[in-house]
Amino acid sequence: MKTISDYNFKGKKAIIRVDFNVPLDENFQITDTTRIDAAKPSIIKVLEDGGAVILMSHLGRPKGEEAKYSLKHIVKRVSEIIGVAVKFAPDCIGEEAKKMADELAMGEILLLENLRFHDEEKAGDEAFAKQLASYADIYINDAFGTAHRAHASTTIIAKFFNEKCLGYLLAKEIESLNKVLNSTEHPVTAILGGAKVSSKITVIENILDKIDNLIIGGGMTFTFIKAQGGKVGNSLVEDDKLDLALEILAKAKQKNVAVYLPEDAIIADAFGNNANKKLCKIDEIPENWMGLDVGEKTQIAFNEVILKSAIILWNGPMGVFELENFSGGTKAIGNSIAQATKNGSFSLVGGGDSVAAAKKFGLEKKVSYVSTGGGAMLEMLEGKTLPGIAAITNE
């Protein structure tokens, strides 16, 4: 698997697929620069070797050319973060973009306009990919967040290069996931939360052979509890997945995987921060009440499992952590993972909500690795080969 470390970029132009799909406020100011910070080491490596960098990314889900999704809004901030003035091409293809790429001097950076202003990007169009490829000598994919998409700039473009490699970020993502999926250290604990069992079925089925403990929390809890005959009131349940929940529990038992479900819940009489709330057993939720967080007994039980784990994967919150009154369980789990990490465990946090929770509670520096790609990470956990990675590794 060739990475950016295997190359010297002196006198070469590298086109790097980055993921600069960053959140912007109403004044087009970036509210979270994590993805730009994460791409910086690869960009700096090329420049320090004596090469030039052409950056390409998407932003949002534009329908054609929409000014609010223009990457021009982020040029100034990218320049500040990288420490080099970034030039900007008003389109990603066409004569002007080609001219700017051709005239780019070593040590300079050019950012192309939003790739998704062209439908050919998502369609994986070869002619579009070939135009992008014509700007550079070497292709680097450093966008884990889009590595599961067979788009022109993430996959198709690679076929036009003899020299292609993974950037530091993408290599680190693969390494971190492999640490979880192919661990020689035990016990391995997966903590899966979030709303629905249906979105995590394939993940659970794929990782059962690789883990020792499975902790389940969040909305998906109630499908498992109801399947076992528990009362869940108005809690979120997928009634068509009750049999599946029982199958998962049976498979886990067969494979000697210990499954931990919440013992108690903080319940509310409505979905809202100011709703009336109380504590009850997880399988005795009264009618017209719903579980929105895990209780203290659960937090203590989960904490014990986490602190004994050598490898920890966290994907999905324990409750509706966005509401302050129902954020305690997710925060407690995050703190347990941080403590285990401090004690020497390897912890990987991934998936949009888990990452948001880690940031909200100031935990992102207290875990081993925070993944930058939700969908891509889930697909790797499901055992799928990501097209953006395969395009570089299957030479």
Q: Is 77 annotated among the ligand-binding residues?
A: no
CATH tag for 183-381 (out of 3.90.1150.10, 2.60.40.10, 3.40.50.1260, 3.40.50.1100): 3.40.50.1260
- Average pLDDT of the segment spanning 322-334: 96
Average pLDDT over residues 124-140: 98
Inform me whether the pLDDT recorded for 395 exceeds 70: no
Q: Which superfamily, per CATH, for 4-170?
A: Phosphoglycerate kinase, N-terminal domain (3.40.50.1260)
CB-neighbour burial class of residue 305 (10 A; exposed 0-12, middle 13-18, buried 19+): buried
Looking at residue 342, what is its pLDDT? 98
Every domain of the chain and the residues it spans? 4-170, 183-381
* Residue 61 assigned as binding residue: yes
- For the segment 96-105, the average pLDDT, to the nearest whole number, is 98
According to the annotation, is 60 in a ligand binding site?
Answer: yes
The answer to whether the beta carbons of residues 315 and 192 sit under 8 Å apart is yes
Q: Report whether 353 belongs to an annotated binding site.
A: yes
Q: Cβ distance 188 to 210 under 8 Å?
A: yes
CATH topology identical between 4-170 and 183-381: yes
Q: Which residues are catalytic?
A: 35, 196, 352, 375
Give the pLDDT confidence of 196-209 residue by residue, as tens digits: 888 888 889 899 99
Q: Does the annotation list 19 as a binding residue?
A: yes
Lowest mean pLDDT among 36-40, 119-123, 324-328, 381-385: 381-385
Q: Report the Cα 186 to chain-centroid distance in Å.
A: 24
Using alpha carbons only, give the angle 387, 132, 378 rounded to the nearest 5 degrees. Answer: 25
Q: Where does the pLDDT of residue 294 fall: very low under 50, low under 70, confident under 90, or very high at 90 and above?
A: very high
Please report the pLDDT score of residue 194 as a whole number: 85
Does the annotation list 148 as a binding residue?
A: no
pLDDT at 213: 98
Q: In the predicted model, what is the mean pLDDT of residues 161-171? A: 96
pLDDT at position 352 is: 65
